[in-house]
């Protein structure tokens, strides 16, 4: 947990567990520089026992905050109100005041949407069964795709399928990762948080990776064919820009060059 921000400075933060690797502070500080704002962005790396008190503190004393693994579903239940996409996805990654939002959904739609029109009716294969998998399943269903889920916890995979049905979509095809069969679909999404997982061969036209840096390399190495790759860095940057739009009331675009060399 970081120290206090100077008086008069806008205060933002990210909360999660074991998130020392996060690049979110660098991105948000680049946005603050570009906007000419006096603002701080802090990291709250807390265990589950400290989550409720941390969220209460952030909602009361901060101008906004992000939520990352493994607490997106927990915080969904803690906020007082929810945006439409947060209600549908059942998880939250951005909070302003006591209202929760899901900018992962918005980022995915913004990035993938232009590539998908010709893929309507095609299948998206989602690897994983957590919050990122749920958000991906709903966003890609909204774009007209059918969903397949391959995961290590089939019960959680079926929960995503049930949620799709509740929202009026077709049920997902759920498969256990232990089958170790090749993975084929128009879109493949890596929503597994572990960066050390070994993937089977993956054949797809578009590969979407929610992991970034070294944690995302195993998935990319498994992708074959002429594939358009959407990196975890792209998703991270876009969801951060969308979070700042919610907090500041306007969109401020930054590039990774500005983040890394600001």
Catalytic residues: 72
Helix then strand then coil, in percent of the chain rounded to 5, is 45, 20, 35
- CA gyration radius for the chain? 18
Question: CB–CB of 200/181 below 8 Å?
Answer: yes
Nearest to 170 by CA among 187, 134, 145: 145
Task: Give kind and range of the element (H or E) at residue 220.
Answer: helix 217-222
Helix (H, G, I), strand (E, B) or coil at 173: strand
Angle separating helix axes 103-112 and 232-248, nearest 10 degrees: 120
Tokens read off for 83: 């945006």
């Amino acid at each position: 947990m970081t120290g206090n921000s100077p008086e008069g400075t806008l205060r933002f933060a990210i909360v999660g567990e074991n998130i020392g690797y996060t690049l979110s502070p660098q991105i948000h500080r680049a946005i603050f520089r570009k906007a000419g704002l006096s603002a701080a962005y802090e990291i709250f790396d807390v265990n589950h026992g400290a989550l409720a008190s941390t969220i209460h503190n952030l909602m009361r004393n901060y101008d906004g905050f992000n939520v990352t693994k493994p607490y997106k579903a927990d915080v969904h239940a803690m906020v007082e109100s929810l945006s439409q996409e947060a209600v549908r996805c059942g998880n939250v990654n951005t909070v302003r005041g006591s209202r929760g939002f899901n900018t992962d959904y918005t980022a995915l739609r913004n990035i993938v949407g232009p590539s998908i029109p010709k893929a309507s009716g095609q299948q998206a294969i989602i690897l994983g069964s957590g919050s990122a998998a749920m958000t991906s399943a709903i966003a890609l269903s909204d774009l007209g795709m059918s969903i397949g889920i391959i995961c290590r916890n089939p019960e959680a995979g079926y929960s995503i399928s049930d949620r799709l049905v509740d929202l009026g979509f077709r049920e997902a095809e759920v498969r256990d990762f232990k089958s170790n069969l090749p993975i084929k679909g128009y879109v493949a999404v890596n929503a597994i948080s572990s960066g050390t997982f070994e993937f089977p061969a993956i054949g797809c036209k578009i590969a979407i990776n929610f992991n970034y840096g070294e944690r995302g390399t195993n998935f990319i190495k498994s992708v074959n064919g002429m594939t358009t790759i959407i990196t975890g860095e792209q998703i991270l940057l876009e969801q951060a820009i969308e979070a700042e739009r919610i907090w500041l009331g306007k969109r401020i675009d930054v590039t990774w060059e500005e983040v890394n060399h600001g």
